[in-house]
Structure 1
Amino acid sequence: MNGLPFFDYLSAYRDQIILRTEQHFQFSAYVIVGAVVIGLLIAVLTYQSGIRGNFAISTAAIAFTLPAVALFGFLVSVFGQSLFGAVYPPVVLYALLPVLRNGIVGLQSADPAVIDAARGMGVGPWRMLWQIRFPIAWPLILAGIRVSAQLAVGIFAIGAFVVDVGLGTYGFEALDNLGSVNTGNEAIVCIVFVALVALVFDAFFVIVRYFTTPRGSRA
């Protein structure tokens, strides 16, 4: 049984699609902020020790391999169908690795000669971190944030498996109603609009990089 032509479907369900897109964008932004804050905090606390830094990266990498659907299902059994109880923590966890890894590697990448010279000039630990290490690490950190943003947008779509919110709902509705009217349209809406949200975030970080990094670091 044939459904509406795709553009007719977009017109008929425009308000709902806009709402789902706004939900997806807003929640993904919350996830990115959470991953950046947590990732950079851990990076600052661990970068000075190779053992602590490697342990933090390895732990985040192991967490990244956990099956998303199983993790969502477990948290639903604990918190119920709560967006910020059952969906937010796993998505932040999956988005954490690129920020954490790039943060630690970036903060460790400062030239030892530059660090020694700064110490000789009386620069303290806080100024060393903020005025020397962080600017050097920023291009690498920002690259990690860009990857984190793409992960957040994509994995949040899986969160619709347990909470009816965001663009992922169209994907799961298509799976639940295979062969029904507009199944193809629902799947295409999920794919296309999730990709558009991801592109908007990526374009934003490209602009941020252009205005916050030296010309030679933009390659």
Structure 2
Amino acid sequence: MTGFNWEDLMAFLTRRADDILELTRDHLVVVLISIALASAIGIGLGILVRNRRIARTTVLTAAAVAITIPSLALLALLSPILGLGWLPTVVALVFYSLLPVVRNTVVGLREVPVSVLESARGMGLGPARVLFTVQLPIAWPVIMTGIRVAAQLTVGIAAIAAYVAGPGLGEYIFKGLSSLGSKNALNYALTGTVAVIILALVLDGILVLIARLTTSRGLRA
């Protein structure tokens, strides 16, 4: 790989600005789709198993084991079934995002004080109303923390999805690594890597803002 040259990098970024923006947009879109799906599935699972010890242990253990599977191996297994591109990428990202979302949903819901739940029931609220008007609002900051963790995992793993022609900035990282020694190899790899880091930081900042805006004032730190 050739040495780093700041002027060459600036010229590279100028020439390929439109391409970089398009890859960044695709990266962000696939991450947002995956996080939305993982949040819906994970929060739903957390609600279902929160009070069932065996089911809760089984789901959390399965999610913990799943996240240990190497991402390249999972993508390689999915590609013959789902093909290349967006579909295997989204499936893999949802797969890896479930653990923090499910775990934090369960933890957040189970940490709601018993006295609060008893007071809600004493006011005549049914199980569904207790869940949606008391438990979920109190657990929401913890749940959002799990979603933030899932988002950071997803942004990084999405780059690896370029292995199966997935969308996003991984294309530049893989292109740089596959052209070691060429003039722009370092520029490709560096651009893709730095853009992924910046995207992760920006997305985390947005989720922090969303968490603050959607959390009851009394629960804000």
Partners of 1:208 and 1:61 in 2: CA distance: 27
1:132 and 2:134 correspond: yes
Q: Does 1:72 align with 2:68?
A: no
Q: 2:25 maps to which residue?
A: 22
Which sections of structure 1, spanning at least 5 residues, go unmatched? none
- Partner Cα separation in structure 2 for residue 91 and residue 130 of structure 1: 28
| 1:160 match: secondary structure | helix
Distance 1:195 1:216 in 2: 33
| Runs of 5+ consecutive residues of structure 2 not aligned to the other structure | none
* Match of residue 203 from structure 2: 201
Q: Give CA deviations for 1:185-212 in whole Å, capped at 9, x if unaligned.
A: 1111111111111112111111112222
Structure 1 Cα separation of the partners of residues 209 and 126 of structure 2: 32
| Cα distance, 1:53 vs structure 2 | 1.5
CA distance in 2, matches of 1:185, 1:216: 48
Identity %: 39
d(CA) in 1 for partners of 2:81, 2:212: 43
Between stretches 138-147 and 203-212, larger displacement belongs to: 203-212
Write the distance in 2 (CA, Å) between the matches of 1:156 and 1:127: 37
Would you say the 8 A contact 2:175–2:185 is kept in 1? Answer: yes
TM-score (normalised: structure 2): 0.93
Aligned-pair Cα RMSD in Å: 1.6
CA contact (8 A) 1:209 1:218 kept: no
Contact 1:46 1:53 in 2 (8 A): yes
Question: How many Å apart are 1:39 and its aligned residue?
Answer: 0.3
- For 2:164, what is the secondary structure of its paired residue? coil
Q: Measure, in 2, the Cα distance between the counterparts of 1:17 and 1:161.
A: 18
With normalisation by structure 1, the TM-score equals 0.94
Q: CA deviation at 1:22?
A: 0.6
Match of 2:55 in 1: 52
Q: Residues 164, 180 of structure 1: CA spacing in aligned structure 2 closer, same or farther, 3 A cutoff? A: farther
CA contact (8 A) 1:9 1:185 kept: yes
CA distance in 2, matches of 1:127, 1:33: 24
